DNA sequence: GCGCTGACTGTCA
DNA sequence: ATGACAGCCAGCG
């Protein structure tokens, strides 16, 4: 399970997934971050896919993964009910939408 | 320890 | 501007 529970342990340094979760957790309401941005903040600018992989498996209540979108503005996929639900959540959060399916990043 | 897959990204046609 | 291809990172079997 990649819930990154290791983060609790002071035994090892924060791993990529831990950083990713932390970054996503920092995203304020009404704002969205791209996978690339999160990956970059995590320390791997090209690990956007890894970010998605982590989110998919490690969906957490403290980690608003629905606020993480693609660099092209698409909300991408969502583990909770597809991009439609994700998009709807973002709208409720107050995120500015460029189009019906594209978010302003 | 190796190989495949995936909530992506960027470039070429 | 739209469609297709290849590349990269981390997790999982």
Q: Is the dihedral of CA A99, A87, A83, A69 positive or negative?
A: positive
Q: What is the pLDDT of residue A14?
A: 72
Which token pair is A93? Answer: 């959060």
Question: Which of A61, A89, A17, A57 lies closest to A69, judged by CA?
Answer: A89
pLDDT tens for residues A2-40?
Answer: 566 555 555 456 788 889 999 999 999 999 999 999 999
pLDDT tens for residues A45-101?
Answer: 999 999 999 999 887 889 999 999 999 999 999 988 889 999 999 999 999 999 889
Q: Which of residues 42-101 of A touch strand C (CB under 7 A)?
A: 44, 46-50, 53-54, 57
Chain mean position to CA A5: 17
Question: Which of A63, A19, A12 lies closest to A45, judged by CA?
Answer: A19
What 8-state DSSP symbol labels residue A10? Answer: T
For residues A104 and A67, is the Cβ–Cβ distance under 8 A?
no
Protein-covered nucleotides on strand C (Cβ within 7 A): 7-12
Give the span between the Cα atoms of A7 and A19, in whole angstroms.
9
Instruction: Please give the model's pTM, rounded to 2 decimal places.
Output: 0.89
């Amino acid at each position: 399970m990649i819930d990154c529970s290791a983060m609790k342990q002071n035994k090892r340094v924060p791993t990529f997934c831990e950083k990713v979760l932390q970054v996503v957790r920092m995203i304020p309401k009404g704002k969205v971050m791209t996978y690339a941005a999160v990956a970059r903040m995590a320390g791997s600018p090209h690990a956007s896919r890894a970010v998605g992989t982590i989110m998919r498996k490690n969906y957490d209540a403290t980690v608003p993964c629905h606020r993480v979108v693609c660099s092209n503005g698409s909300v991408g996929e969502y583990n909770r009910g597809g991009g439609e639900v994700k998009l709807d959540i973002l709208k409720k959060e107050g995120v500015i939408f460029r189009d019906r399916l594209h978010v302003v990043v």
